[in-house]
């Protein structure tokens, strides 16, 4: 039985392969869940380049070329940072496109509340992002952010992705 994430990932795989495009991920708060979903379907190696879980700011700066000044000015959980993560992943993994996440899935930081997550997607010169304000548990928030990122990327590709899980017989 296919799940929501499997359906989205399969739709993305089919489209990326047919367009001969490649994809990478840069994840913070989702901790590899986006990459795991994308690679859970057969044939992912035909388009998926790889990913990085950059939990610490220094990793975002070192491996994804996120500007430290942007982190200081806007916070690590911001549109500016997630969009730089998308661009950095494309560069780091030599991919056509990327998906990224950064957020406070559990506790906030005092200024930004818990459940604030930014997702980003696109390609250099055409990067999009969305802020999610979630109110579930840490596990629920990261699962929702993962599904939201895949839905957003699916839409970016111009697809009407099949999202419904099949009902148990």
In a domain, 100, yes or no: yes
Q: Give the pLDDT confidence of 79-105 residue by residue, as tens digits.
A: 999 999 999 999 999 999 999 999 999
pLDDT score of 163: 54
In a domain, 169, yes or no: no
Gyration radius of the chain over CA positions? 15
Strand 48-53: give its sheet, edge to edge: 48-53, 23-27, 97-104, 116-123, 126-133
Question: Residue 138 is part of which domain span?
Answer: 4-156
Is residue 168 pLDDT above 80, yes or no?
no
In a domain, 31, yes or no: yes
Q: Indicate the average pLDDT of the chain.
A: 93
97 and 23 Cβ atoms separated by less than 8 Å: yes
In a domain, 166, yes or no: no
CA distance 143 to 147: 6
In a domain, 139, yes or no: yes
CATH number for the domain harbouring residue 116: 3.90.950.20
Q: In total, how many domains does the chain have?
A: 1
């Amino acid at each position: 039985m296919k799940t929501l994430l499997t359906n989205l990932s399969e739709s993305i795989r089919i489209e990326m392969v047919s367009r001969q495009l490649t994809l990478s991920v840069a994840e913070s708060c989702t901790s590899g869940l986006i990459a795991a979903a994308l690679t859970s379907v057969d044939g992912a190696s035909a388009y998926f380049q790889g990913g990085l879980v950059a939990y610490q700011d220094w990793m975002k700066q070192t491996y994804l070329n996120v500007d430290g000044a942007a982190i200081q000015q806007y916070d690590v959980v911001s549109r500016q940072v997630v969009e730089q993560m998308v661009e950095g992943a494309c560069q780091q993994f030599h991919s056509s496109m990327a998906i990224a996440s950064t957020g406070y899935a559990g506790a906030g930081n005092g200024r930004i509340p818990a459940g604030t997550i930014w997702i980003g997607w696109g390609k250099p010169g055409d990067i999009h992002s969305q802020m999610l304000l979630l109110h579930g548990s840490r596990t629920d928030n990261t699962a929702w952010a993962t599904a939201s990122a895949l839905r957003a990327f699916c839409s970016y590709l111009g697809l009407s992705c099949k999202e419904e899980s099949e009902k148990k017989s």
